[in-house]
């Protein structure tokens, strides 16, 4: 939805990104895929725990505001993604809520909101998503500068931003160690996937391609899942 909502802006302003050109040339396919996904999502709500709506609605509104200009700034309306410095914290918060708190509430009820274990899991997810999102802002340094959008890399520099991502990954794996212990099989899966993510983050720079961010960095979430799943089996 993020890319679809910005297609008109990309056509007007122009872009050198191969990913953006692919999206513009395959707009019908993207919209069809989005419509199919929304249809499946709409059908799945009948199977959700009713308590989940207390969380899914506010989280959904934040996600909606990220792509649609509904936030007022002076005389104009802007997207959350245009409010530089704190946008990645919103991204990480929504991801943590959607992938940690919501599944727990759906399975065990609203009482999970008050369980320490749920928040430990969510905070770990928050740290991880934050760590892999910073390189996206490193890639977009020039574009954000042209739009006057302040981000962490534009404030502290991209090299220190890479270091910040590594610190977040260290905090993430330490939290996993605290929750599970070093001898837990799942900890091995988390450790392997975090080591791979650390290497990928280390090569972040403003010259990296869309493919690096949209495939390799976003793919670290799948790497983490597969590593833990393989350990489980």
Whether residues 165 and 107 fall in one domain: yes
Are 183 and 228 within one domain? yes
Same structural domain, 29 and 118 = no
Say how far apart CA 77 and CA 203 lie, in whole Å: 35
Cα distance between residue 77 and residue 194, in whole Å: 38
203 and 127 fall within a common domain = yes
Separation between Cα atoms, residue 182 and residue 193, nearest integer Å = 15
Is 53 in the same domain as 24? no
Residues 98 and 37 in one domain: no
Three-state DSSP at 7 gives: helix
The larger pLDDT score, comparing residue 34 to residue 12, is at: 34
> Is residue 73's pLDDT more than 70?
no
Q: What is the pLDDT of residue 177?
A: 95
Whether residues 23 and 62 fall in one domain: no
For the cut 70, the answer to whether the pLDDT of residue 40 exceeds it is yes
- Once rounded to an integer, what is the mean pLDDT over residues 95-109? 89
pLDDT for 211 equals 84
Find the domain containing 63 and state its range.
48-232
Q: How many domains does the chain have?
A: 2
Is residue 123 located within the same domain as residue 76?
yes
Report the candidate in 130, 193, 136, 138 with the shortest Cα–Cα distance to residue 166.
Answer: 130
Backbone conformation region of residue 148, classed left if phi is above 0, alpha if psi is from -120 to 50, else beta: left
Question: Are both 4 and 86 inside the same structural domain?
Answer: no
Q: Tell me, what's the pLDDT at 41?
A: 78
Mark whether 4 and 58 lie in a shared domain.
Answer: no
What's the pLDDT band for 13 if we cut at 50, 70, 90? low
The alpha carbon of 117 is separated from its chain's Cα centroid by a whole number of angstroms, namely: 21
The proportion of the chain whose per-residue pLDDT surpasses 70, expressed as a percent, equals 82
Q: What is the DSSP letter of 48?
A: S
pLDDT digits (tens, 9 = 90+) for 16-38: 666 666 777 777 887 788 788 88
Q: What is the 3-state secondary structure (H, E, C) of 123-148?
A: HHHHHHHHHHHHHHHHHCHHHHHHHC
Do 76 and 150 fall into the same domain?
A: yes
Residues 102 and 127 in one domain: yes
CA atoms of 66 and 61, how far apart (whole Å)? 9
User: Residue 231: what pLDDT?
Assistant: 87
Measured CA angle at 225 (ends 125, 33), to 5 deg: 90
Measure the CA–CA gap between 156 and 130, rounded to whole angstroms.
16
Q: What is the DSSP letter of 49?
A: -
Listed in order, strand segments (DSSP E) in the chain are 71-73, 76-78
Report the range of poorest mean pLDDT among 141-145, 188-192, 197-201.
141-145
């Amino acid at each position: 939805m993020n890319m679809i909502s910005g297609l008109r802006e990309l056509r007007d302003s122009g872009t050198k990104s191969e990913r953006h050109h692919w999206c513009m040339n395959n707009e019908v396919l993207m919209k069809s895929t989005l419509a199919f996904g929304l249809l499946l999502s709409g059908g799945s709500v009948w199977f959700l725990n009713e308590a989940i709506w207390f969380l899914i609605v506010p989280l959904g509104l934040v996600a909606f505001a990220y792509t649609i200009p509904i936030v007022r700034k002076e005389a104009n309306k802007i997207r959350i993604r245009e409010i530089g410095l704190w946008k990645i914290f919103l991204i990480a918060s929504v991801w943590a809520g959607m992938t940690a708190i919501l599944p727990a509430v759906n399975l065990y009820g609203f009482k999970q909101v008050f369980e320490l274990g749920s928040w430990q899991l969510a905070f770990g997810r928050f740290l991880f998503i934050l760590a892999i999102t910073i390189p996206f802002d490193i890639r977009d340094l020039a574009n954000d500068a042209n739009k006057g959008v302040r981000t962490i890399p534009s404030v502290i520099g991209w090299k220190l931003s890479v270091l910040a991502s590594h610190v977040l990954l260290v905090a993430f794996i330490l939290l996993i160690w605290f929750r599970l212990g070093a001898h837990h099989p799942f900890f091995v899966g988390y450790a392997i996937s975090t080591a791979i993510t650390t290497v990928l983050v280390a090569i972040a720079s403003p010259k990296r391609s869309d493919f690096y961010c949209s495939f390799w960095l976003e793919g670290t979430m799948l790497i983490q899942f597969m590593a833990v799943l393989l350990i489980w089996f």
